[in-house]
Amino acid sequence: MTQEKDWILHSVIFSLKHAPGSEEEQRFLQDARAELTSIPVVRHFKVYRQVSPKNEYDYGFAMEFANQADYEAYNDHPNHVRFVQERWVPEVEKFLEIDYKNE
């Protein structure tokens, strides 16, 4: 598959404050998918469970954007801002964000 020159892969790995396997953990992951995929510029949203013993994070989100303008629109979108303030900040223990572009 060929991506556009300006394509961006936005990814974040994270651990939650909730107990593994808890209802709160599952609700967070489900709500994140619903909220973030409601933003029109988000493409190919994925939720991952991290399995490598080489890092200390438990989950990952990944999504694609057609270009920098779409990425910025996502960051500024009211649904994203609300999710970060109301869910991410209080429920995420630690995270690492990584964004990629085509070379």
pLDDT per residue as tens digits for the range 64-80: 999 999 999 999 999 99
- pLDDT (tens digit, 9 = 90+) per residue, 47-59? 999 999 999 999 9
Q: With respect to CATH, is domain 8-101 assigned 3.60.20.10?
A: no
Q: Which residue has the higher pLDDT, 66 or 4?
A: 66
pLDDT value at 1 more than 70: no
Cβ atoms within 10 Å, residue 59? 19
3-state secondary structure of 65: strand
> Residues of 16-47 as b/e, b for ≥16 C-beta within 10 angstroms?
bebeeeeeebeebbeebeeebeebebbeeeee
Q: Could you give the CA distance from residue 88 to residue 69 in angstroms, rounded to a whole number?
A: 23
Domain limits, the chain: 8-101
pTM of the prediction? Answer: 0.89
